A and B are shown apart, each in its own frame.
Chain A
């Protein structure tokens, strides 16, 4: 009898303490971009009595897990965090749920455009959470020392790299040219500045145009002022050179700004200046790398998931995310006196974000980027002439597009 009574008491207690019925599972990037969303999810769960489970995945695995979940409609995730180049692939086949209502006007337009399918004009399927776009990092102290104005064009960068590199016994420039995303990300601003592109408006490859070949020749020339072995570099090697004061300039992402001014990591605290991307024949355009949040069509808690999405991207929550290190996607936050006093690169970040361009909006971008990156990497490694590399890349991209039809 005593045993039965004990069992009943335990059952009642367990029943009283069980987790709330409402639940959300959120897939986030295991990195600084995901940290803020993770904190927001916890706060949301506590405020709304919702059990929130956050699945943190490294960048390399996040796409594949999300892709598998979306295509098989398992409903494993209720909210997903996705890098904007993945959006055209993930939105295919109705795999993402459309937003119940359009977002407000407070977001930077370039960030909103990548949330629509078709790009820029269609239905909204996501909201922008992290406002990433490339910036130009340069040693403002060394530019002042040699009476150089902050660069406005890529040829000014080349001239400055020669002067600073020779005078300071350091590398005038540092870039990353490991195959895949790394080299493509560093090449796109050059390509656009020289008037080239990967695909034209009809989706045909044009990366073998004279402008594109000239852009690659320029990249290889700039590579002469980069550390040997840059053809295998990724973001961490580039940033290590800036942080250790062994290189004077580079293209980089906002995620590295904080490290530049962190005395425990940097020998160049306060010495790095940040500029929106530089131009050449065309105005400067950086690559957009906005992190989005979306709800899979297979989610079984769509109502809660959308409520979380709107809440997390609203101005007060995004301000919290900005304080945790995420660049916002709302103009008002970039212009907030409180935040600009704390984040000195915000004016440059906003200017960059407003003019930034996304990678070509095709579901085949991952494959195109891989092929394009291989040839860019070969040209930078000195094993293929830039013209040959671009002709080969255009031919293979054309084959990828044909197969995809």
Chain B
């Protein structure tokens, strides 16, 4: 019973309340206007598409790098602890601190990045990073990769360490090469960990807010506008809680579908 009460207070009540807000107008009467508006709102369409691109690109690269680093460091005979500790530093920084640091790094005139490139003779006059319409989203994705690849590395490393040695040795005795061992033994045994890591990271990526809020505030124009940022603005800057709640439900549904898709992709039941 206490567990049920906690579940109701923490999960169900906010959800029911948000549903009520999304389905009523300012006079308190039932309406579907908030959901109907979603189909006409171009900013929401742009924000949703960019959230999808952001999630897909960042997740793919972070996973590839995380797995690569995990395999590399697990194969080292010495210094594993040192590398692991070093790699975890970006993830330990509060996201706001990391974003502020990157905002300074990306500054086109005074930033560390362009300053370093200029030392090597690179013409940086057009390298505007977060200020450029075409480069802003990539720049924000790079910050996310820098900060959150260690998270995937950490989970995948733990998964690799949990794989029993016997099947690996058996495969090698049977003459399997390193690629065959990876593809036919390590990868199938690592699938549950991969799914967990991808799901956790994907859910976090869909909600991306703090980095973008500090780095670009969604700009230039709507170049880095994401669903969470737009929902925040709608609720707390425009005071339209009903429409913000409707968008949140769509985002929740999209996240659930995305997670289901990921699970199918990794084929774990």
Q: A and B: real partners?
A: yes
A240 to B109, CA, bound (A): 10
Q: Which residue of B lies closest to A183 (CB)?
A: B219
Q: Is B237 interfacial (CB 8 A cutoff)?
A: yes
Q: Is the CB of B237 within 8 A of A227?
A: no
> In the complex, what distance in Å separates the CA atom of A56 from the CA atom of B218?
26
Nearest Cβ in chain A — how far from B47, in angstroms? 11
A49 sits at the interface (CB 8 A): no
Q: Does A383 contact B (CB under 8 A)?
A: yes
Residues of B within 8 A of A366 (CB): 237-239
Task: Pick the residue among A63, A177, A179, A241 that contacts B222 (CB under 8 A).
Answer: A179
CA A311 – CA B219 in complex, angstroms? 42
B104 to chain A, nearest CB (A): 10
The residue in chain B whose Cβ has the minimal distance to the Cβ of A370 is B233
Q: Would B109 and A241 count as touching, CB distance under 8 A? A: yes
Q: What string of 1s and 0s marks CB contacts (under 8 Å) between A128-140 and chain B?
A: 0000000000000
Of the listed stretches A7-15, A23-31, A143-151, A373-381, name the one at the interface; the rest are far from the partner chain.
Answer: A373-381
Of the A-B pairs whose beta carbons lie under 8 Å apart in the complex, a sample of 15, sorted by A's number, is A179-B220, A179-B221, A228-B128, A229-B108, A229-B130, A230-B131, A366-B237, A367-B238, A367-B240, A374-B219, A374-B221, A377-B221, A381-B220, A381-B221, A383-B221
B239–A232 touching, CB < 8 Å: no
Cα A241 to Cα B107 in complex, Å, equals 11
Closest B residue to A371 by beta carbon equals B43
| Interface of A: prevailing SS | helix
Taking CB as reference atom, which chain B residue is nearest A234? B217
* Contact A381/B237 with A178-B219, A179-B222, A237-B107 known, Cβ cut-off 8 Å: no
Residue B54 at the chain A interface, CB threshold 8 Å: no
Within 8 A of A (CB), among B101-144: 107-110, 125-126, 128-133, 136
Q: Are A177 and B220 in contact (CB under 8 A)?
A: yes
Q: Classify chain A: how many residues form its interface, as a range.
A: 20 to 34
In the bound complex, how far is the Cα of B109 from the Cα of A13, in angstroms?
62
CB contacts (< 8 Å) of A381 on chain B: these are 132-133, 219-221, 223
Number of interface residues of B (CB under 8 A): 28
Chain B CB within 8 A of A384 CB: yes
- Across the interface, which residues of B come within 8 angstroms of A378, CB to CB? 133, 220-222
A177 vs B239: C-alpha distance when bound (angstroms): 24
B residues 228-267 touching A (CB-CB < 8 Å): 233, 236-240
CB of A175 within 8 Å of the partner chain: no
Q: Which residue from B43, B107, B133, B216 sits with its C-beta under 8 Å from A382?
A: B133
Residues of A within 8 A of B219 (CB): 178-180, 231-232, 374, 377, 381
Residues of B within 8 A of A89 (CB): 239
- From B109, B126, B220, B238, A232 is in contact (CB under 8 Å) with B220
Shortest Cβ distance from A187 into chain B, in angstroms?
A: 14
Contact bitstring A211-248, B, C-beta under 8 A = 1, else 0: 00000000000000001111111100100110010100
A172→B130 CA distance, assembly (Å): 22
A228 near B125: Cβ-Cβ < 8 Å: yes
- Cβ < 8 Å to B, chain A residues 347-375: 364, 366-367, 370, 374-375
In the bound complex, how far is the Cα of B122 from the Cα of A206, in angstroms?
A: 45
A287–B216 alpha-carbon span in the complex (Å)? 24
Contacts of A246 in B (CB 8 A): 109
Query: Which 5 pairs from chain A and chain B are nearest by CB?
Result: A232-B131, A229-B131, A229-B128, A378-B221, A179-B219
